Amino acid sequence: MAASSLRVLGIDPGLTRCGVGIVDVDRSRRGTLVHVGVIRTPPDMPIGDRLAAVAAGIRTVLEQHRPDAVAVERVFAQHNSHTVMGTAQASGVALLLAAEAGLPAATHTPSEVKAAVTGYGSADKKQVQAMIARILRLDAPPQPADAADALAIALCHAWRRDGAAPGASETLTPAQRAWADAERVARTYIRSGS
């Protein structure tokens, strides 16, 4: 990894499937795939064992690839509270492991991640997968969607690491610039009362 690159581990938390993806992003914001995978646990396994398996998988990735930062998808309310609980528990494990490793960690909302990589905060899974393949110059979109989501989370974090405010177009990717422009138009439209 070049000294000017940032290596980010992105995590799409979940108990059945926890996506993990690592990218190196250089100063020109070009991303390179380092690792992608999915940590799986069977639904009939006791919850403590499932969390331990997720932790072991994340710990292995941390040790093998030595990222500079960790980014986790922020848990949001869904209709299925059982799914939300498992996702929140896996997210907590990921954030704990980052803290234990002394790594800075952040969470990003699904819409923030989608906007960063596609320019559209409501993009669907296929759009995210297609853009990840394009951004990272892959022959095919990463499968399953959890793997692509993890890479998207890592890219979102790397691209926002300088804390650039929306509208600071010289530091935004084309997708982020398009999204910021759309938000600016929407705010103007709402303020004008049209």
The model carries a pTM of 0.81
146 is in an annotated binding site: yes
Residues in the chain with pLDDT values less than 70: 1-3, 77-80, 82, 161-194
Please name which of 150, 185, 174 lies closest in space to residue 70, comparing C-alpha atoms: 150
Active site residues: 12, 73, 146
Please name which of 54, 6, 16, 51 lies closest in space to residue 146, comparing C-alpha atoms: 16
- pLDDT score, position 69: 97
- pLDDT score, position 83: 74
pLDDT digit string (tens) for 33-75?
999 999 999 999 999 999 999 999 999 999 999 999 999 999 8
Please name which of 52, 44, 62, 37 lies closest in space to residue 89, comparing C-alpha atoms: 52
Fold adopted by 6-164 = Nucleotidyltransferase; domain 5 (3.30.420)
73 is in an annotated binding site: yes
Domain boundaries, the chain: 6-164
Say how far residue 47 (Cα) sits from the centre of its chain.
24
